[in-house]
Chain A
Amino acid sequence: MTVQSAMPKCWNEETKPHKFCPGCGHGLVLKALGQAIDELGIQDKVVFGCDIGCSLLSWDFFNVDTIQTHHGRTNPVITGMKRANADIIGVAYMGDGGGYAIGSQHLVSAATRNERITSIVVNNTQYGMTGGQMAPTTMPGQKTETTPYGRDPETTGSPTQGPEMVAAIAPEGAYVARGSVANVRQLKGYIKKALENQMAGNGFSFVEALSLCPTNWRTNAKDTWKFLEEDMYKYFKVGELKVPGSQEKEGQ
């Protein structure tokens, strides 16, 4: 039985259809987030922060208080808010450039301080808004505007493993997972857990969402999903990497 699920209640209908390119994964990630917010009944508590890059197009996406920040600076803005008002449920939403390149020091520090915020990084393996340049997450051999002959790990390094890094440095209480827009139900579950973990005051809650960018990948529908589910999955393993209370289990 497949039923087209309704628009999440916390979505702002007036700004739909959304501003993302056709085929973009952001809409799916934001749908998962919207559903999680609805299920938890926290629309009036959430403050949603979006970054620079494609994520900024979500500045009026929800009927929740929203602040669009600077490139890479969403984690500190939401951190500052949460530190000033613990009743806020802070969500920092950004792309892989904002999370792992220009804002990496903020991600690392928010993780090591176990900031009680939920940080979501959308990984589509390149910089979308600026026209498809290499990102920290670009796959080896992947062609982008700044790696026209394919990314050479020898000179440009290997794709950043964001959740693995966060899981390695965040203290007990943190929640870390990687989901995918190819499995929105699972992704929603991860995001919901990440919100619940913040609400419980346990620690930093981080979800990377593997996403799609047919515009800059220059792929048709079939190849778009193929790139995500075959190529990206080889490098980026979907699953939970750190769950509060299961520290010992992980060490076994």
Chain B
Amino acid sequence: MPEKPIQGEKKVFVTGNEVVAWAALAAEAEIMYGYPITPQNEIMHYWTRTIPKFGRRFLQTEDELSAGFTTVGGVLAGRRAFTATAGPGNILMQEPLSMAEAMRVPIVAVVEQRGGPSTATVIYSQQEVTLTTLGGNGEGLRVVYSTATHQDLFDYTIKAFNTAWKYRFPTFVLADGYQAKMRESVVFYDPAERGIKMVPTEAYVGRPGMPGVDRPPMHMRNTYNMEEELYEVLQEYLADYAKAAPEIEEHEAFDTADADLVVISHGVVSRACKMAVQELRQQGYKVGYFRPITLRPMPEKALREVAATAKQFLVVESAQGQLARLLKEAMYGGTAEMLTLFKPGVGVTSEEVVARVKEIKG
């Protein structure tokens, strides 16, 4: 048996894409299917360089449709399979993702957001939130983790496989080009040594026995003849999702209890917001910090608790209100005023957040 990719713990200084590749190795991912698109390419680069030693596999496909559908095939064969994409690739990825949703196929997709719409920039944005949380012609029955640091990338890539296989909903790790390309310190570890048990995979097709004799044949479809048939299936899925949501939801928050204004952000932008809130607190401003880690499902209960006391929210994102839209839905009926700092396709600094809060507070 090949040795474990990561023995014990080790502190490294690497790019986010390298982190994802190592996290997938550590999570015992068996096969990656991918198609080149910036800024996720180096996930494939690191994966393909490393895998011969660990007996893992890779297939470079003809496009992201194929990358997504081959990943679905790999999962149906019972493998811990994943893919990675960005921007226009994420658009194409929504087709296989909708099939994964329809058939409860636990595929994992890492998205490194780039500018949009269209080809836009290969650099950075938070403009794939709507697409990643609610893409496809369905009800958004997927899980989306938004990472802020390289440690998050490592932790949540591992976790994504377990969430996907435990609940059988397709799961995304949503990062961005900044996280993909920048280097920072991160601790790699063997999940087992941290007490993280990988949820076992299971083949949907090709199980032992003669189908129709020893076992029923697996007949999987995503097409229904009657509205009622579909409705019945969806009711079950939606109930499963609603039941799983409180177990999956994650957020990070501080200084919200007495805050007049709570800054809400996700992903890499939350790092600027964290700094800004800490700085503003030191200057005597009653501000708080809230960051949804899961964008789907949204940590609704925690948000509503904050909304019950805060008078104002400041939503900060590198998009024109894609996070804000999700927040409004989650907090519908709340009375807190929702203020914004939107910078679609560009980064946000802590100075800008501080300035915006001071502008609001006078």
Which A residues have a C-beta under 8 Å from some C-beta of B? 10, 12, 43-45, 47, 52, 56, 59-60, 62-70, 73, 76-85, 87-88, 105-106, 108-109
Q: Is the CB of A62 within 8 A of B206?
A: no
Q: Is the CB of A80 within 8 A of B72?
A: yes
Interface residues of B in 169-184 (CB under 8 A from A): none
In order of increasing CB-CB distance, the 10 nearest A-B pairs are A80-B73, A63-B212, A80-B70, A109-B62, A65-B205, A76-B69, A81-B73, A84-B77, A84-B74, A85-B77
Q: Complex: how many Å from CA A76 to CA B73?
A: 8
Q: Complex: how many Å from CA A196 to CA B165?
A: 34
26 A-B contacts (beta carbon < 8 Å):
A44-B209, A44-B210, A56-B223, A59-B219, A59-B221, A66-B205, A66-B217, A67-B76, A67-B220, A73-B69, A76-B65, A77-B69, A79-B66, A80-B71, A81-B205, A81-B206, A82-B73, A83-B59, A84-B30, A84-B73, A84-B77, A85-B203, A106-B65, A108-B62, A109-B61, A109-B62
Q: Complex: how many Å from CA A62 to CA B218?
A: 10
With both beta carbons as reference points, the residue of chain B lying nearest to A115 in the complex is identified as B59
Interface residues of B in 45-96 (CB under 8 A from A): 57, 59, 61-63, 65-66, 69-79, 81, 95-96
Q: Is the CB of A77 within 8 A of B61?
A: no
Nearest-Cβ distance from residue A198 to partner chain B, whole angstroms: 14
With both beta carbons as reference points, the residue of chain A lying nearest to B103 in the complex is identified as A67
Contacts of A77 in B (CB 8 A): 69-70, 72-73, 76
Main secondary structure of the interface of A (DSSP, over half): mixed
Nearest-Cβ distance from residue B287 to partner chain A, whole angstroms: 47
With both beta carbons as reference points, the residue of chain A lying nearest to B225 in the complex is identified as A19
A12-B212, A109-B62 given; A85·B206 CB < 8 A: yes
Contacts of B66 in A (CB 8 A): 73, 76, 79, 105-106, 109
> B62, B65, B207, B211: which contacts A43 (Cβ < 8 A)?
B211
Nearest-Cβ distance from residue A128 to partner chain B, whole angstroms: 15
With both beta carbons as reference points, the residue of chain A lying nearest to B73 in the complex is identified as A80
Q: Is the CB of A88 within 8 A of B206?
A: yes
Interface residues of B in 210-254 (CB under 8 A from A): 210-213, 217-223
A65-B218, A73-B69 given; A84·B57 CB < 8 A: yes
Residue B158 interfacial (CB < 8 Å): no
> A43, A63, A76, A108: which contacts B61 (Cβ < 8 A)?
A76
Q: Complex: how many Å from CA A78 to CA B76?
A: 10
Residue B262 interfacial (CB < 8 Å): no
Q: Is the CB of A52 within 8 A of B223?
A: yes
With both beta carbons as reference points, the residue of chain A lying nearest to B63 in the complex is identified as A105
Interface residues of B in 74-130 (CB under 8 A from A): 74-79, 81, 95-96, 99
With both beta carbons as reference points, the residue of chain A lying nearest to B62 in the complex is identified as A109
Nearest-Cβ distance from residue A215 to partner chain B, whole angstroms: 18
Nearest-Cβ distance from residue B222 to partner chain A, whole angstroms: 6
Nearest-Cβ distance from residue A74 to partner chain B, whole angstroms: 9
Q: Is the CB of A60 within 8 A of B205?
A: no
With both beta carbons as reference points, the residue of chain A lying nearest to B222 in the complex is identified as A68
